[in-house]
Amino acid sequence: MSETCDETPPTGYAVIQDYLKTLDGSPGVYRMLDAESRVLYVGKARNLRARVSNYARPGHSGRIERMIASTASMMFLTTRTETEALLLEQNLIKQLKPKYNVLLRDDKSFPNILVSKSHAFPQIKKHRGAKKERGAYFGPFASAGAVNRTLNQLQKVFQLRNCSDSMFDSRSRPCLLYQIKRCSGPCTGQITEAEYALSVRDAENFLSGRSTRVQEELAAQMQAASDAMEFERAAVLRDRINALTQVQSTQGINPRGVAEADVIALHMESGQACVQVFFIRANQNWGNQDFYPRVGPDVSAAEAMEAFLGQFYDNKEPPRQLILSDAIENEDLMTAALGEKAGRKVEILIPQRGEKAELVSGALRNAREALASRMSESATQAKLLRGTAEAFGLEAPPDRIEVYDNSHIQGTNAVGGMIVAGPDGFMKNAYRKFNIRGDDLTPGDDFGMMKEVLNRRFKRLLKEDPDRDKGLWPDLLLIDGGAGQVSAVAEIMAEHGVEDIPMVGVAKGVDRDHGKEEFHRLGQRPFALQRNDPVLYFIQRLRDEAHRFAIGTHRAKRAKAMGATPLDEVPGVGASRKRALLAHFGSAKAVSRANLADLKAVDGISAALAEKIYDFFHDRG
């Protein structure tokens, strides 16, 4: 009887050679899979047969040779054009995260400034995500901090409101921002609609790069006010000009010859890479961001840069120009793909001289310095992880440490927080928060809260990564607490059949003193580390980060709860009726004290609803 079903399937050149019999010269995307059907690599091809035949012959780099040796099967998908193949390839790489592809690991969206146009007095605010709201968008900015700094200065200059429409409609007197000259007070008629519209126009001109015109107009108005002896108005205009100058100075270099571009510089060293992206919009530098794509020692700069561009712009609109430090292999293809995505021409430049070359040089310097710093930190982190493994008796340095903490005030607004750390430091995209739901928990029951958090965490983990091959499982759990907390966590893990993950309870120790922490492990005596041990500082940092994250989440939840009003609980009172009541009476407290006749007088409140509102507040008496 044959037992070939138990044999390991063949891999390597012979497997790839077999596929050549059925392939033609169509463009498309191919996937290389290992013996367990895990995707090793995703690639595109102008001619699938020609591309695959290249893999069927020896003579590749070490990385590709290892990939071919592991290949047990392949999958193919033909496309109408090579441009379609490029777009599909990058999409699949982001979804599947194959082992042998260059991979952009940090792919976040970037914030914009929105001048909302859904109101007679437009609001200026930070915006992130889909551009669904009506208004003028300016960006992207490299970070929320860059947006906040710019908004802060623009408030000083143009005094546009940043309050929500509901807050605007409910004001009966100007807010603090008006008092400190950060808002012109349109909510209470301190400025006319026409005057406010001029300020909106000036703000949009500045954000569109026409800052010189704005400054010239402000200077002329200041001179006119001074000539008319309106010295107070002249002083206000002078302060606006100074604030405008400050915005420009914080932006650093503002290129004259580059209106709209991303400057992208790549530095590679010792099998690692850093990409710096500078956002130039309206001839202004709106900040920069660094990225660390996963590469290998035998990946070329052209391959790394092309992979970065494809993945970075997969969910972002590309600017009119991409100014690169390194050429890519398929420039015509990438230009066509990005132009198709943007619905207009996108130009790729690799400048050799002039202002654009200087911009690339500056970005390249940033990339080089950032990578050197990161490599230094990684070496230190690797040493700390080895020390952690020695201190807690682990078989190997942990790649993923999960740290848990709870936060509440006498049991109210309780939340649990999970932070994650690994070889590259804190993995903030893996952080998780848990709203404590347990109705049967005693207020302040930390054991019960921790049990609920861990129960939900491992239930989800077993569902999302049952084979433990996606890198989602922790190698070490750190719990805030002593022996009791460790026992509680062990019970939860045993219930889920998970008993092979080491866990350590971190207790404050004698006098709850920082530095006298005791470490608790299941079935073992507690122990402490020397005060000057770097591993102790490392564990303290992890615990403090978990505490910071849990506290921040709790405060946000509490603030949201405090922002709620009794009107939220009244049956039949939705958002629009709530706004009408607040606009009429000024506050929820005033609504609760209103008589029936006054409630009936509010627009949109029927006699029946007025009675419901009145009964709601007076029955609660």
Q: Give one DSSP letter per residue of 302-370, joined into a string.
A: HHHHHHHHHHHTTSS---SEEEESS--TTHHHHHHHHHHHHTS--EEE---SHHHHHHHHHHHHHHHHH
**C-alpha to C-alpha distance for 184 and 121, rounded to whole angstroms:** 11
pLDDT reported for residue 70:
93
Phi, psi at 11, each rounded to 5° = -135, 165
Q: Which residues contact 136 (CB under 8 A, 6 or more apart)?
A: 114, 115, 117, 204, 207
Closest-CA residue to 27 (of 78, 95, 88)? 78
- 0.85 exceeded by pTM: no
Tokens of 192: 């006319």
Tokens of 258: 């580059």
pLDDT reported for residue 313:
92
Q: Read off the pLDDT of residues 193-229 as tens digits, 9 standing for 90 and up.
A: 998 998 898 888 888 877 667 777 778 888 888 888 8
Closest-CA residue to 486 (of 517, 457, 440, 450)? 450
Residue 140: cis peptide before it, omega within 30 degrees of 0:
yes
Tokens of 289: 């961001």
Alpha-helix residue ranges (DSSP H) falling in 466-574? 483-495, 534-563
Closest-CA residue to 438 (of 461, 406, 460, 464)? 406
* Domain 566-620 class in CATH: mainly alpha
Q: Which residues of 1-16 are buried (b: 16+ CB within 10 A; e: fewer)?
A: eeeeeeeeeebeeebb
**C-alpha to C-alpha distance for 366 and 612, rounded to whole angstroms:** 64
Tokens of 154: 């623009």
Task: Please count the other Cβ atoms lying within 10 Å of the Cβ belonging to residue 310.
Answer: 25
**C-alpha to C-alpha distance for 236 and 213, rounded to whole angstroms:** 18
Closest-CA residue to 124 (of 110, 139, 108, 109)? 139
Tokens of 92: 């699949």
Q: Which residues of 99-125 are buried (b: 16+ CB within 10 A; e: fewer)?
A: bbbbbbeeeeebbbbbbbeeeebbbbb
Closest-CA residue to 204 (of 158, 249, 253)? 158
Task: Please count the other Cβ atoms lying within 10 Å of the Cβ belonging to residue 443.
Answer: 10
CATH code assigned to 260-372? 3.30.420.340
pLDDT reported for residue 8:
66
CATH code assigned to 401-561? 3.30.420.340
Dihedral sign, Cα of residue 571, residue 577, residue 578, residue 580: negative
Residues 478, 450 contacting (CB under 8 angstroms): no
Residues 469, 482 contacting (CB under 8 angstroms): no
What element of type H or E holds 227? helix 211-227
Given a cut of 50, the residues of the chain with pLDDT beneath it are 1-5, 411, 620-621
Q: Which residues contact 617 (CB under 8 A, 6 or more apart)?
A: 566, 591, 592, 593
pLDDT reported for residue 385:
95
Closest-CA residue to 474 (of 487, 483, 482, 465)? 465
Alpha carbon 203 to its chain's center: 27
Burial class (CB in 10 A: 0-12, 13-18, 19+), 160: buried
Q: Strand 321-324 and strand 260-269: pairing?
A: parallel
Report domain extents, the chain.
4-96, 112-250, 260-372, 401-561, 566-620
pLDDT reported for residue 166:
83
What 196-202 contacts at long range (C-beta under 8 Å, 24+ apart), as own/partner pairs, is 196/121, 196/122, 196/160, 199/158, 199/159, 199/160, 200/115, 200/122, 200/158, 200/160, 202/157, 202/158
Q: Read off the pLDDT of residues 243-277 as tens digits, 9 standing for 90 and up.
A: 677 665 555 556 778 889 999 999 999 889 999 99
Q: Which residues of 187-212 are buried (b: 16+ CB within 10 A; e: fewer)?
A: beeebeeeebeebbebbbbbbbbebe
**Under CATH, which architecture does the 4-96 domain have?**
3-Layer(aba) Sandwich (3.40)
Residues 92, 42 contacting (CB under 8 angstroms): yes
Residues 186, 194 contacting (CB under 8 angstroms): no
Question: Is there a common fold for 260-372 and 401-561?
Answer: yes
Residues 305, 326 contacting (CB under 8 angstroms): yes
What element of type H or E holds 507? strand 503-507
